């Protein structure tokens, strides 16, 4: 494969970003929108060509004896600081990056198309498209990174574009504070990422992923068994790197930014905060997977964090009123699902060769399907918000008659996420659960419960929006389906969500490139289907027709409901820690020192200088005789000093 | 010898007295006149020290040229009817302190300087006059018109340029606009 | 009784200190200039004295005095020109009235 197409994939969105960002003001909305959509369409086509060439051409560069190879299309030196510290920019093609190329460009194209309808009347339409292209560029650069430093650079770039897009409605104070929150929290996590990179590469002498992952035992050997505070240095490095992933993927306790990030435009939430950027953490773990495999402790850490987060987010999602918040917590929960799936995967599992890296494959599979149906759900939510001008389900209800396209596509999304066959979510979730059961039945049972909760809260949302009772406001303002630019992506994504499960994913994406034949594990599949159906039935019973069951339920457990509704007070905890402890105690002491010692010293200099100046300004009175007198006394004083010294 | 000593005392007395009077008198024209006496006294000292040419120059330039300038300036700046306007002084206490301290310091330095213990320091005027050649006009002329060591053609020309600049500057500054 | 270097230096010192006193206390600029001449003359005299008593076989001190007199003459000429100009501008030769350069 030549380097033209891969470079174009990166260059196209960046070029569009510059074009729309610099020249957008001069363009009409229509021109800017069409340009953006065409640019992203081109990028998508190129990405498809590259991905399909990689998967299906059978070229010896890509596949040897049925084993898929990692292929660096190019890897050029960008910054050579020292002999050892060389930053390169490259393009790595391997199963997961090819898959991510498809996911990112597809969702991004859908969002571009959708936004044309959704953002039509907003200020800064051109700026919005420029930011979307910047994000696409950064995300593509992230997934094709050949080395961890390149990944870090693009990692920060997606952070910036996320910041810009969350704060897109910069006149809303809530959007501004949400963007700041997202940026600061992820930036804080990235500090851990950077420390991890430095720790790891200090020992490995290389930033390159292929060098590191092709021989993880060598990485382990290079650290030489160095330990720090009871854990090996490699464990520390891998856990710190995972911290970056925790920030971007909104794992507990760094999840607090994602629900607030819903202040951004809904298509942005679909693209960045559901399908692509937030799975960067999962992608990072997958990218470094062989190295993680040799550090048991870091894998356990990932699993535990993922399992807790998945459950926590699912419970919170049951009590949210804002539909985008429900979807946000659902996203957190689903990403945590993928994390657990990666965390339980190992090289050489009990149960034979078959299970090696099953969790990896399943996690990537779920990443793929989840991107599709979660983008669908978000775009559907966008259509709903567009129709009723509110984020709260209390302003909705009974919408199925008014918005049939939205209704059916949303239902497909809900079925997919709930794991009902034959929708895509079922297949990926089933593989993940199989991998978890294979590792330890506790993880399997726990995550099956989370899957049940997922089905429950999604259908609670579905029924409350489309059934329940009709909102009386519809008489004044009759909701209707969105224009074609918005409906078309919904239909396409719904179709993908239906069929994506049948993609032979195991043949394409596995951790070691050896193809894997997916087959359903009957006990796991049946269990999860039964759990999901029960949850859906419960949701239908409680929310399909207007009744008092939810109210009774809520009255029965007021403490739990309130706590979950307030997201178990994580935000308050953060506020307490930052404001009361850090600002209140530590910072005020430092501030006191700053004000009374450092500033006071400087003020003192200024004051003394000023006082002295005032005191001696009479000397410069323009009086020659006074000058002569001072000069004369100075000379006398010098003479006296000389005399004293000579004595 | 005795004549030299008598002459010295007379001149030293003239210089001391008229110096004090020049800075304390109330009439500006008198101050200029007392200055003239001091300058003439200095010229006598030059003669006594064997620098006849220097003394002549002192009389010609200072007593002749500069004093005339002073007198002209005084007459130009004093309005005719305020001719008797007394010279006012201020800061007299500070002035006295400064000059007394300075005088004391200088005299103390003079009388304690280590040079007084050497032969040069105690050399009398007659010894000094006899231990060197007489300064003739020929020597002075050669000193001012050569470029060797101890010859000063360049400073001499520089001073001539300075005087030219001074003439032009004086005219420019003082002329009527 | 021996006329040595100290005898000649003492009147010079007195002359100088009178110059200092006059320069500090006089208000009239021409009177200040008179004091200035006193100080200058004292310095000139010192050159000649030191030359005569310490280095009688040379004449550098005398030459220096000659230059000093020439330059003092120039300086006095310019100073008087400036004083006349100031007098023309503000009608006074009092030093206290010339502490502003805006005239």
> Which chains does chain C touch, 3 or more C-beta pairs < 8 A?
A, B
Please state the rounded mean pLDDT for residues A175-187.
90
Place of tokens 């020439």: C70
| Interacting residues of B75 by C-beta distance below 8 A, sequence separation 6+ | none
- Backbone φ and ψ for A287, nearest 5 degrees, come out as -65, -40
Predicted local distance difference test score (pLDDT) of residue A123: 82
- Picking from A342, A348, A336, the residue whose alpha carbon sits closest to that of residue A364 is A342
Please state the rounded mean pLDDT for residues B167-174.
84
Tell me whether A622 touches chain C (CB under 8 Å): yes
Q: Residue A56 and residue A54: Cα distance in Å, rounded?
A: 6
Tell me whether A624 touches chain C (CB under 8 Å): yes
Distance from CA of A625 to the nearest CA of C (A): 5
Please state the rounded mean pLDDT for residues A542-564.
79
Q: Does residue A160 have a cis bond before it (omega within 30 degrees)?
A: no
- Picking from A250, A368, A370, A245, the residue whose alpha carbon sits closest to that of residue A309 is A250
> Which chains does chain A touch, 3 or more C-beta pairs < 8 A?
B, C
Assigned fold of B1-88: 1.20.120
Cα separations in angstroms, B13 against A134, A288, A515, B17, B107? 99, 107, 125, 6, 17
Q: Pairing relation of β-strands A63-64 and A67-68? A: antiparallel
- Kindly calculate the radius of gyration of chain A based on its CA atoms and give it in whole angstroms: 30
Q: Which two tokens stand for residue A5?
A: 């197409």
> Which chains does chain B touch, 3 or more C-beta pairs < 8 A?
A, C
Q: Residue A509 and residue A273: Cα distance in Å, rounded?
A: 24
Q: Residue C91 and residue B66: Cα distance in Å, rounded?
A: 23
Mutation to test the C interface, candidates B18, B66, B96, most C Cβ within 10 Å: B66
Mutation to test the A interface, candidates C93, C99, C101, most A Cβ within 10 Å: C99
Q: Which of A621, A622, A625 sits opposite C24 (nearest CB)?
A: A625
Nearest CA in chain A to C25: A625
Q: Please answer whether residues A319 and A561 qualify as being in contact, where contact means their C-beta atoms are separated by less than 8 angstroms.
A: yes
Distance from CA of C83 to the nearest CA of B (A): 8
Q: Residue A153 and residue A338: Cα distance in Å, rounded?
A: 24
DSSP A333-370: HHHHHHHHHHHH--SS-TT-GGGTTHHHHHHHHHHHHH
pLDDT in tens, B55-108: 999 999 988 889 998 998 888 887 655 555 556 667 788 889 989 999 998 998
Check residues A567 and C78 and name the one with the higher pLDDT.
C78
- Backbone φ and ψ for A353, nearest 5 degrees, come out as -55, -35
- Contact map slice: C 30-69 vs B, CB within 8 A: 30-31, 33-35, 37-38, 41, 44-45, 48-49, 52-60, 62-63, 65-67, 69
Is A322 in a helix, a strand, or coil?
strand
CB contact under 8 A, B109 and A639: yes
Tell me whether B164 touches chain C (CB under 8 Å): no
Whether residue A354 has pLDDT greater than 70: no
Check residues A78 and B88 and name the one with the higher pLDDT.
A78
Whether residue A313 has pLDDT greater than 50: yes
Q: Residue A620 and residue A607: Cα distance in Å, rounded?
A: 20
Query: Which residues of C are less than 8 Å from B12 in CB distance?
Result: 7, 10-11
Distance from CA of A624 to the nearest CA of C (A): 8
Q: Pairing relation of β-strands A71-80 and A231-232? A: unpaired
Is A511 in a helix, a strand, or coil?
coil
Check residues A561 and B72 and name the one with the higher pLDDT.
B72
Predicted local distance difference test score (pLDDT) of residue A106: 92
Q: Residue A20 and residue A38: Cα distance in Å, rounded?
A: 13
Q: What percentage of chain A exceeds 90 in pLDDT?
A: 27
Task: Look at chain C and count its residues.
Answer: 103
CA of residue A637 relative to chain centroid, distance: 75
Query: Which residues of C are less than 8 Å from A618 in CB distance?
Result: none
Whether residue A375 has pLDDT greater than 70: yes
| CATH number attached to the domain at C2-97 | 1.10.287.3510
Predicted local distance difference test score (pLDDT) of residue C103: 42
Tell me whether A52 touches chain C (CB under 8 Å): no
Q: What percentage of chain B exceeds 90 in pLDDT?
A: 36
Q: Does residue A422 have a cis bond before it (omega within 30 degrees)?
A: yes
Please state the rounded mean pLDDT for residues A266-293.
88
Q: Which range is least confidently modeled, A135-149, A442-456, A472-486, B45-59? A: A472-486
CB pairs under 8 A between A and C: 19
Whether residue B143 has pLDDT greater than 70: yes
Place of tokens 């669908």: A376
Q: ipTM of this model? A: 0.91
| Helix ranges (DSSP H) in A467-546 | 484-499, 505-508, 522-543
Q: Residue A76 and residue B158: Cα distance in Å, rounded?
A: 71
Q: Please answer whether residues A341 and A432 qualify as being in contact, where contact means their C-beta atoms are separated by less than 8 angstroms.
A: yes
pLDDT in tens, C16-71: 999 999 998 888 888 999 999 999 999 999 999 999 988 888 888 999 999 999 99
CB contact under 8 A, B98 and A639: no
CB contact under 8 A, A623 and C96: yes
H-helix or E-strand spanning residue C103: none
Is B89 in a helix, a strand, or coil?
strand
Q: Residue B152 and residue B143: Cα distance in Å, rounded?
A: 6
- Backbone φ and ψ for A228, nearest 5 degrees, come out as -145, 120
CA quadruple A248, A254, A255, A258: dihedral positive or negative?
Answer: negative
pLDDT in tens, A608-628: 999 999 888 877 777 788 888
Angle value at C-alpha A150, between A146 and A152, nearest 5 degrees: 125
Q: Residue A56 and residue C69: Cα distance in Å, rounded?
A: 107
Whether residue A16 has pLDDT greater than 80: yes
Q: What percentage of chain B exceeds 70 in pLDDT?
A: 93
Predicted local distance difference test score (pLDDT) of residue A195: 92
What is the residue extent of each domain of chain C?
Answer: 2-97
Predicted local distance difference test score (pLDDT) of residue A65: 78
Query: Which residues of C are less than 8 Å from A622 in CB distance?
Result: 99-101
Query: Which residues of B are less than 8 Å from A639 in CB distance?
Result: 105, 109
CB contact under 8 A, B98 and A633: yes
pTM confidence score: 0.69
- Picking from A144, A382, A152, A121, the residue whose alpha carbon sits closest to that of residue A271 is A382
Please state the rounded mean pLDDT for residues A566-583.
82
CB contact under 8 A, A625 and C32: yes
Nearest CA in chain C to A633: C20
Whether residue A437 has pLDDT greater than 90: no
Is A321 in a helix, a strand, or coil?
coil
Predicted local distance difference test score (pLDDT) of residue A318: 86
Q: Which of C24, C95, C96 sits opposite A629 (nearest CB)?
A: C24
Query: Which residues of B are less than 8 Å from C55 in CB distance?
Result: 132
- Under the banding of pLDDT at 50, 70 and 90, the label for residue A31 is confident
Please state the rounded mean pLDDT for residues A567-593.
84
CB contact under 8 A, C95 and A621: no
| Interacting residues of B169 by C-beta distance below 8 A, sequence separation 6+ | C78, C81
Predicted local distance difference test score (pLDDT) of residue A5: 87
Q: Which range is least confidently modeled, A284-293, A410-419, A510-519? A: A510-519
CA quadruple A616, A622, A623, A626: dihedral positive or negative?
Answer: positive
Mutation to test the C interface, candidates B30, B49, B111, most C Cβ within 10 Å: B49
Please compute, for residue A644, the number of CA atoms within 13 A of its CA located in the half-sphere on the CB side.
6
- Picking from A264, A106, A94, the residue whose alpha carbon sits closest to that of residue A182 is A264
Tell me whether C101 touches chain A (CB under 8 Å): yes
pLDDT in tens, A488-539: 989 999 998 888 888 888 788 888 777 777 777 788 888 889 999 999 998 8
Average pLDDT, chain A: 86
- Picking from A126, A148, A111, A113, the residue whose alpha carbon sits closest to that of residue A38 is A113
Predicted local distance difference test score (pLDDT) of residue B79: 67
Tell me whether B97 touches chain C (CB under 8 Å): no
Q: Which two tokens stand for residue B123?
A: 């050399």
CB contact under 8 A, C100 and A628: no
Please state the rounded mean pLDDT for residues A46-75.
85
Tell me whether C32 touches chain A (CB under 8 Å): yes
Average pLDDT, chain B: 86
What is the residue extent of each domain of chain B?
Answer: 1-88
Q: Please answer whether residues A39 and A27 qualify as being in contact, where contact means their C-beta atoms are separated by less than 8 angstroms.
A: no
Q: Which of C13, C66, C84 sits opposite B110 (nearest CB)?
A: C13
Predicted local distance difference test score (pLDDT) of residue B27: 85
Distance from CA of B94 to the nearest CA of A (A): 9
Q: Which two tokens stand for residue C13?
A: 């010192």
CA of residue A218 relative to chain centroid, distance: 31
Please state the rounded mean pLDDT for residues A278-298.
88
Please compute, for residue B142, the number of CA atoms within 13 A of its CA located in the half-sphere on the CB side.
8
Q: What percentage of chain A exceeds 70 in pLDDT?
A: 98
Whether residue A587 has pLDDT greater than 80: yes
Q: Residue A305 and residue A455: Cα distance in Å, rounded?
A: 22
Q: For the beta carbon of residue A3, count every other beta carbon within 10 angstroms.
A: 11
The burial of A631, by beta-carbon neighbours within 10 Å (0-12 exposed, 13-18 middle, 19 or more buried), is given as exposed
């Amino acid at each position: 494969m030549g380097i033209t197409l891969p470079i174009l994939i990166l260059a196209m969105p960046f070029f569009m970003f510059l074009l729309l960002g610099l020249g957008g003001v001069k363009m009409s909305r229509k021109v800017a929108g069409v340009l953006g959509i065409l640019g992203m369409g081109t990028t998508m086509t190129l990405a498809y060509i590259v991905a399909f060439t990689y998967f299906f051409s059978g070229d010896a560069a890509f596949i040897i004896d049925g084993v898929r190879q990692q292929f660096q299309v190019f890897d050029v030196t960008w910054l050579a600081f020292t002999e050892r510290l060389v930053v390169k920019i490259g393009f790595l093609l391997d199963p997961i990056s090819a898959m991510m190329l498809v996911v990112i460009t597809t969702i991004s194209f859908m969002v571009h198309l959708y936004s044309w309808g959704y953002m039509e009347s907003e200020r800064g339409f051109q700026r919005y498209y420029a930011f979307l292209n910047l994000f696409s560029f950064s995300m593509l650069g992230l997934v094709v990174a050949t080395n961890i430093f390149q990944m870090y650079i693009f990692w920060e770039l997606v952070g910036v574009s996320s910041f810009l897009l969350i704060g897109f409605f910069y006149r809303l104070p809530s959007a501004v504070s949400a963007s700041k929150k997202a940026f600061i929290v992820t930036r804080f996590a990235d500090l851990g990422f950077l420390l991890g990179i430095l720790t790891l590469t200090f020992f490995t002498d290389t930033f390159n992923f292929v060098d590191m992952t092709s021989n993880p035992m060598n990485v382990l050997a290079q650290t030489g068994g160095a330990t720090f505070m009871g854990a090996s240095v490699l464990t520390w490095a891998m856990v710190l790197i995972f911290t970056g992933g925790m920030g971007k993927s909104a794992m507990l306790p760094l999840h607090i930014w994602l629900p607030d990030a819903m202040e951004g435009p809904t298509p942005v939430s679909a693209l960045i905060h559901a399908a692509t950027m937030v799975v960067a953490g999962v992608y990072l773990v997958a990218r470094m997977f062989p190295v993680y495999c040799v550090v048991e402790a870091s894998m356990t850490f990932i699993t535990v964090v993922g399992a807790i987060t998945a459950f926590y987010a699912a419970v919170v999602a049951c009590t949210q009123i804002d539909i985008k918040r429900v979807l946000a917590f659902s996203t957190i929960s689903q990403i945590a699902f993928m994390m657990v799936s990666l965390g339980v995967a190992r090289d050489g599992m009990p149960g034979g060769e078959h299970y090696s890296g099953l969790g990896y494959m399943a996690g990537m599979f779920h990443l793929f399907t989840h991107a599709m149906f979660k983008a669908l759900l978000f775009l559907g939510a966008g259509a709903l918000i567009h129709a009723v001008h509110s984020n709260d389900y209390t302003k909705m209800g009974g919408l199925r008659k008014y918005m049939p396209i939205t209704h059916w596509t949303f239902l497909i999304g809900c079925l997919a996420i709930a794991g009902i066959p034959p929708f895509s979510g079922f297949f990926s979730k089933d593989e993940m659960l199989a991998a978890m059961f294979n590792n330890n039945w506790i993880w399997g049972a726990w995550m099956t419960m989370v899957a049940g909760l997922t089905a429950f809260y999604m259908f609670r949302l579905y029924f409350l929006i489309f059934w329940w009772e009709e909102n009386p406001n519809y008489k004044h303002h009759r909701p209707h389906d969105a224009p074609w630019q918005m409906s078309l992506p919904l239909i396409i994504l719904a179709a993908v969500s239906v069929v994506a499960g049948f993609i032979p994913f195991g043949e394409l994406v596995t951790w070691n490139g050896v193809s894997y034949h997916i087959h359903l594990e009957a006990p796991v599949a049946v269990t999860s289907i039964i759990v999901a159906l029960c949850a859906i039935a419960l949701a239908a019973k409680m929310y399909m027709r207007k009744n008092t069951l939810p109210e009774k339920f809520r009255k029965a457990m007021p403490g739990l409901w309130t706590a979950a509704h307030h997201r178990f007070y994580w935000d308050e905890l953060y506020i307490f820690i930052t404001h009361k402890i850090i600002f209140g105690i530590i910072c005020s002491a430092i501030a006191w020192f700053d004000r009374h010692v450092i500033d006071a010293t400087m003020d003192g200099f200024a004051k003394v200088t000023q006082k002295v100046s005032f005191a001696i300004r009479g000397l410069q009175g323009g009086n020659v005789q006074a000058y002569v007198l001072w000069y004369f006394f100075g000379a006398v004083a010098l003479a006296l000093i000389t005399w004293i010294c000579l004595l | 010898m005795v004549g030299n000593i008598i002459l010295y005392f007379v001149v030293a007395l003239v210089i001391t007295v008229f110096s004090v009077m020049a800075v304390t008198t109330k009439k500006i024209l008198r101050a200029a006149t007392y200055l003239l006496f001091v300058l003439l006294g200095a010229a006598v000292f030059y003669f006594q020290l064997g620098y006849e040419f220097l003394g002549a120059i002192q009389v010609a330039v200072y007593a002749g040229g500069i004093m005339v300038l002073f007198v002209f300036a005084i007459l130009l700046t004093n309005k005719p009817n305020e001719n008797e306007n007394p010279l006012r002084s201020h800061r007299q206490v500070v002035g006295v302190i400064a000059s007394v301290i300075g005088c004391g310091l200088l005299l103390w330095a003079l009388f304690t300087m280590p040079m007084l213990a050497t032969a040069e320091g105690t050399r009398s005027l007659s010894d000094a006059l006899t231990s060197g050649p007489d300064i003739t006009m020929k020597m002075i002329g050669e000193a001012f018109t050569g470029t060797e060591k101890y010859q000063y053609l360049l400073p001499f020309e520089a001073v001539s340029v300075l005087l030219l600049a001074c003439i032009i500057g004086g005219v420019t500054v003082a002329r009527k606009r | 009784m021996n006329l040595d270097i100290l005898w000649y230096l003492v009147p010079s010192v007195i002359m100088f200190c009178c110059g200092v006193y006059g320069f500090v206390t006089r208000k009239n600029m021409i009177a200040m200039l008179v004091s200035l001449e006193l100080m200058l003359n004292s310095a000139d005299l010192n050159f000649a004295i030191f030359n005569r008593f310490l280095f009688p076989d040379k004449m550098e001190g005398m030459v220096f005095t000659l230059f000093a007199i020439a330059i003092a003459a120039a300086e006095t000429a310019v100073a008087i020109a400036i004083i006349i100009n100031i007098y023309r501008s503000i009608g006074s030769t009092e030093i206290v009235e010339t502490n502003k350069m805006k005239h």
